[in-house]
């Protein structure tokens, strides 16, 4: 771990305070240990309203877990040992707890420490306050997760590809890890960690960290050990347990998945090593050693999750033709934006996702060429416009990059805004200063902020210091504050290439005028071109026109899940009965939030035609969906 010299200067400018709050603390620990403790930001915009922790008084800097995975009880239990850093006069440390069953809390010498769980908030869980003695620097908590812990999804053998073994995976982002790890669950409180994981013999545990020892199987149990030496935001601690096999893809990459999916997954991921090389050229060395991936069962609620060393992926990206692998470029790019420089709070989420979305198309361009990248940018801008409309228009506060989440769940901010408006902002800067200069700037940004939390204010100050450098005309041209703090899209946005989809757009116009579907075109088009076609069609179409499309392109049977989704979205909007069996199969065979949520919501909102379908589907699909998906859909009161 190293900190660039620029970081120290910026730290002084922004009143960044390291949490090593006294010289006494420094003296008490070996220098090499304290050097690895990431700073805590002290500015008001870095105050995390989604955590009960008070890290400037006492903070966790290392977590050591020793946990047993109990598939029968659907619980994880054992010990978490926390190394803490604290002000000498601090009387307690506050952790985040959501439903944990705490059995005991002791200090290094085994003495009991007093503890108390405070009032529970529906979104945040509750504060776990632990009394500290003057010399307490290590705490051991014996505990169990609750059977309904939201971070954990327990799958029955029937819900896996192999159908023989149960499966468990965790999803920490945004504030779910407090349901299985008692720590300070705030992205601004970076922690190194290690884990010993005990699972039933025959199953394999993987985590978002390198293995620190070879697994041992003994007495009906297999034991796996992991260690993450870099400090990470705690939402990046992740685990999966199942019948898993590994296939190497290159010198520093490989894929884990169930044996039945291994060949298809490895084939789809064949370009991974090239992507790592392309990303390093843009943003500097890859600092996490290996880049492995885990392809999960279809319940996984996201496209991917950038868990360090081990990206978690939905199997729905496997199309057989690598046409959806920009997902890998996205998760890989998070190795810099998100995992090195991390949003200090969830209001700053766009710094993770906007930068990553921008970097994704840069990696895609390096490998698949400028035309593919230009098309993906145009699709992104389309989805940005749709999202703004969906949110209620360009003056709605939730269209701001720096979003206000007071009293809300961080998942409320999980829209296209942080992703696509964030990326559009960065493309606008790139267009204004030139690619070469902006690339050099971004590389420097990651160097200056590696292994640190960042905020919108830090980013804007850094831009002004290292890119704008007092150029008043450039400052006016960029409209930085308007982009970050105001609603809607500023007028200086760099627009996507209007010719990116010239042929497809002509085909849409011809169909809208009453022409026959362009079968020859469809056969030639890439997935992105097909998506553009479906998304740009008039949203209201009579049955005969939908019949024509379905017959010409085989849409009810589309194997590409993005294409299938785009079609089903159109079908639901038109109450198109012939698509219903395809719709039901789609919604009961995978649990990706991006697909499931809008379709079920649209069905439920259509009280006469759609709602009965939604109710039928939800009863069957719900056991497959992750708690973070059902939490929202349960509110529709569909039963199931």
Edge-to-edge, what's the strand order for the sheet holding 221-232? Answer: 101-107, 138-144, 75-86, 58-70, 191-200, 221-232, 211-218
Annotated active-site residue in 291, 368, 419, 618: 419
Task: Pick the closer one to Zn ion by CB: 328 or 613.
Answer: 328
How far apart are the two ends of the chain, measured CA to CA in Å? Answer: 49
Task: Pick the closer one to Zn ion by CB: 241 or 373.
Answer: 373
How far apart CA 21 and CA 418 sit, in angstroms, is 34
Interaction site with Zn ion (CB under 5 A): 353, 356
Task: Pick the closer one to Zn ion by CB: 84 or 341.
Answer: 341
Q: How many Cα atoms occupy the beta-carbon half-sphere of 384 within 13 Å?
A: 27
Q: Tokens 């199942």 belong to which residue?
A: 242
DSSP symbol at 44: G
Number of Cβ within 10 Å of residue 434's Cβ equals 10
Task: Pick the closer one to Zn ion by CB: 193 or 358.
Answer: 358
DSSP symbol at 407: T
Is-catalytic flag, 143? no
Report the nearest approach of Zn ion to the CB of residue 353 (Å): 5
Report the nearest approach of Zn ion to the CB of residue 307 (Å): 12
Report the nearest approach of Zn ion to the CB of residue 305 (Å): 8
Is-catalytic flag, 286? no
* HEC string for 179-231: HCCCECCCCCCCEEEEEEEEEECCCEEEECCCEEEEEEEECCEEEEEEEEEEE
Task: Pick the closer one to Zn ion by CB: 592 or 622.
Answer: 592
Radius of gyration of the chain (CA): 25
Report the nearest approach of Zn ion to the CB of residue 363 (Å): 13
Task: Pick the closer one to Zn ion by CB: 299 or 339.
Answer: 339
DSSP 493-513: PPPPPTTTTHHHHHHHHHHHT
Annotated active-site residue in 258, 268, 331, 529: 331
Task: Pick the closer one to Zn ion by CB: 299 or 356.
Answer: 356
Give rounded-to-5 percent helix, strand, coil for the chain. 45, 20, 35
Q: Which of 129, 398, 445 shows the shortest CA–CA distance to 282?
A: 445
Are the C-beta atoms of 321 and 348 separated by less than 8 Å?
Answer: no
Q: Both tokens of residue 541?
A: 């179409």
Report the nearest approach of Zn ion to the CB of residue 423 (Å): 11
Beta-carbon contacts of residue 237 (< 8 Å; ≥ 6 apart): 63, 170, 172, 177, 181, 193, 195, 207, 208, 228
DSSP symbol at 494: P
Q: How many Cα atoms occupy the beta-carbon half-sphere of 346 within 13 Å?
A: 23
Beta bridge partners of 96: 127, 183
Number of Cβ within 10 Å of residue 22's Cβ equals 13
Q: Both tokens of residue 636?
A: 């529709």
Task: Pick the closer one to Zn ion by CB: 191 or 343.
Answer: 343
How far apart CA 271 and CA 73 sit, in angstroms, is 40
Catalytic residues: 331, 419
């Amino acid at each position: 771990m190293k900190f660039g010299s620029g970081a120290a200067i910026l730290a002084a400018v922004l009143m960044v305070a390291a949490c090593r709050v006294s010289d006494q603390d420094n003296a008490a620990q070996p220098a090499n240990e304290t050097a690895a403790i990431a700073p805590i930001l002290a500015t008001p915009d870095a105050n995390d309203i989604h955590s009960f922790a008070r890290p400037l008084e006492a903070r966790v800097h290392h977590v050591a877990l020793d946990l047993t995975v109990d598939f029968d009880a659907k619980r994880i239990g054992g010990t978490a040992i926390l190394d803490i850093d604290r002000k000498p006069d601090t009387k307690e440390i506050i952790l985040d707890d959501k439903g944990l069953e705490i059995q005991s809390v002791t200090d290094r010498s085994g003495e009991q420490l007093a503890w108390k769980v405070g009032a529970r908030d529906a979104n945040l869980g509750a504060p776990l306050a632990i009394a500290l003695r003057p010399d307490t620097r290590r705490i051991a908590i014996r505990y169990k997760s609750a059977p309904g812990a939201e971070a954990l999804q327990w799958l029955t053998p029937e819900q896996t590809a192999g159908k023989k073994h149960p499966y468990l995976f965790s999803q920490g982002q945004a504030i779910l890890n407090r349901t299985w790890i008692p720590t300070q669950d705030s992205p601004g409180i970076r922690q190194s960690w290690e884990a010993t994981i005990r699972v039933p013999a025959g199953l394999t545990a993987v985590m978002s960290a390198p293995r620190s020892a070879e697994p041992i199987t003994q007495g009906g149990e297999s034991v796996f050990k992991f260690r993450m030496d870099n400090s990470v935001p705690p939402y990046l601690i992740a685990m999966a347990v199942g019948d898993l096999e590994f296939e190497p893809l290159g010198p520093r990459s490989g894929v884990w998945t169930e044996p039945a999916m291994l060949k298809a997954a490895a084939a789809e991921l064949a370009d991974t090593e090239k992507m790592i090389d392309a990303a390093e050229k843009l943003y500097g060395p890859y600092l996490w050693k290996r880049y492995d991936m885990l392809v999960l069962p279809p319940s996984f609620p996201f496209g991917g999750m950038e868990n360090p060393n081990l990206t978690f992926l939905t199997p729905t990206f496997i199309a057989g033709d690598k046409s959806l692998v920009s997902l890998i470029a996205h998760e890989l790019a998070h190795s810099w934006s998100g995992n090195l420089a991390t949003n200090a709070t969830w209001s700053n989420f766009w710094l993770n996702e906007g930068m990553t979305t921008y970097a994704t198309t840069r990696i895609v361009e390096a490998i698949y060429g400028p035309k593919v990248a230009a098309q993906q940018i145009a699709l992104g801008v389309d989805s940005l416009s749709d999202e703004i409309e969906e949110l209620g228009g360009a003056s709605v506060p939730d269209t701001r990059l720096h979003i206000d989440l007071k009293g809300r769940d961080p998942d409320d901010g999980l829209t296209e805004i942080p992703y696509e408006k964030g990326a559009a902002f960065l493309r606008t800067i790139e267009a204004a200063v030139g690619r070469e200069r902006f690339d050099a700037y971004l590389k420097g940004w990651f160097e200056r902020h590696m292994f640190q939390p960042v905020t919108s204010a830090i980013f804007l100050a850094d831009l002004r210091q290292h890119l704008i450098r007092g150029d008043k005309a450039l400052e006016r041209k960029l409209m930085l504050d308007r982009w970050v703090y105001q609603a809607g899209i500023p007028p200086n946005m760099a627009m996507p290439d209007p010719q990116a989809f010239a042929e497809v757009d002509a085909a849409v116009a011809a169909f809208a005028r009453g022409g026959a579907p362009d079968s020859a075109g469809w056969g030639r088009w890439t997935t992105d071109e097909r998506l553009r076609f479906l998304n740009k069609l008039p949203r209201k179409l009579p049955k005969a026109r939908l019949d024509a499309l379905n017959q010409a392109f085989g849409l009810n049977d589309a194997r590409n899940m993005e294409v299938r989704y785009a079609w089903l979205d159109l079908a639901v909007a038109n109450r198109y009965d012939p698509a219903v069996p395809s719709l039901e199969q789609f919604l009961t065979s995978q649990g990706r939030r991006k697909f499931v949520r809008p379709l079920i919501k649209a069905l439920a909102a259509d009280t006469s035609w759609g709602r009965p379908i939604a109710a039928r589907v939800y009863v069957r699909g719900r056991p497959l969906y992750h708690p973070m998906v059902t939490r929202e859909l349960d509110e529709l009161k569909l039963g199931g």
